[in-house]
Structure 1
């Protein structure tokens, strides 16, 4: 079966009421086309973490998802403050989330480490004052 699909989502910054809707929609789409549940779980977790980072740390952004027979590629571009030190941000438990965000149950410093853990390929580019682009790839085989 040959699959080729492109999806696009806009993410609002600071809007926790709709946070996670894009990753939920992708999860439902992958179920509908018959992707293995274990692979869907990897994609859903890594994309949700990235989407939540856009809501928590940036003023939202855009998500482009490309689904093929071989892989799912997710590119998330935000309009946030950027990440000054990506290596530091990748450390489990490191977070720049505010006290208010932590009180909501977010900002534990596991977003980027979980993206790395649950994706087959992770690329992060960031420019301070401009924003961050995260590319996640999960192979289907």
Structure 2
């Protein structure tokens, strides 16, 4: 499979369980395999997978569980990460490198360094975050032309 064969979109959907640290990274690993099959440049694969991994881990660490939907188009990748509560209390602070509200259990395993949202922002061309006390939704887009492609 390569980009020339991708005439329409290709969708991946995954449920992500809260506190499932053992399976953390499975979604981004599956995405990496698909993007390599599409023969995307390594830097684009890296950017997509970093953003996916950080979103996946945020669902695992901070929510009651959620879902990642990844749509691959000929010219871009769009990922939507949605989770159930408690939302992000201070979004501006959460965008600061090093700011973390991760629980102690996550920190003890080496997660929760406060780089998730900053890494997502740095590796995407567009990031839209909506959050409330019932949950959070991230829409992330990586263009296959332009920035570092």
State whether residues 68 and 79 of structure 2, in contact with CA within 8 Å, keep that contact through their aligned partners in structure 1: yes
Report what 1:16 is aligned to: 21
Report what 2:63 is aligned to: 58
Structure 1 residue runs of 4 or more that deviate by more than 3 Å after TM superposition: none
Report what 2:108 is aligned to: 103
Give the superposition deviation at 1:23: 1.1
How far, CA to CA, are the matches of 1:134 and 1:83 in structure 2? 11
Unmatched 5+ stretches in structure 1: none
How far, CA to CA, are the matches of 2:88 and 2:25 in structure 1? 21
Give the superposition deviation at 1:112: 0.4
Give the alignment of 1:1-141 within 5 angstroms: 1=4, 3=6, 4-128=9-133, 130-141=134-145
How far, CA to CA, are the matches of 1:46 and 1:15 in structure 2? 18
Give the superposition deviation at 1:65: 0.6
Give the superposition deviation at 1:8: 0.7
State whether residues 54 and 80 of structure 1, in contact with CA within 8 Å, keep that contact through their aligned partners in structure 2: no
How far, CA to CA, are the matches of 2:95 and 2:60 in structure 1? 18
Instruction: Give the TM-score normalised by the residue count of structure 2.
Output: 0.91
State whether residues 24 and 44 of structure 1, in contact with CA within 8 Å, keep that contact through their aligned partners in structure 2: yes
Report the number of matched residues: 140
State whether residues 76 and 134 of structure 1, in contact with CA within 8 Å, keep that contact through their aligned partners in structure 2: yes
Deviations, residues 3-55 of structure 1 (Å, cap 9, x unaligned): 22111111111011111111110110000111111100000001100100000
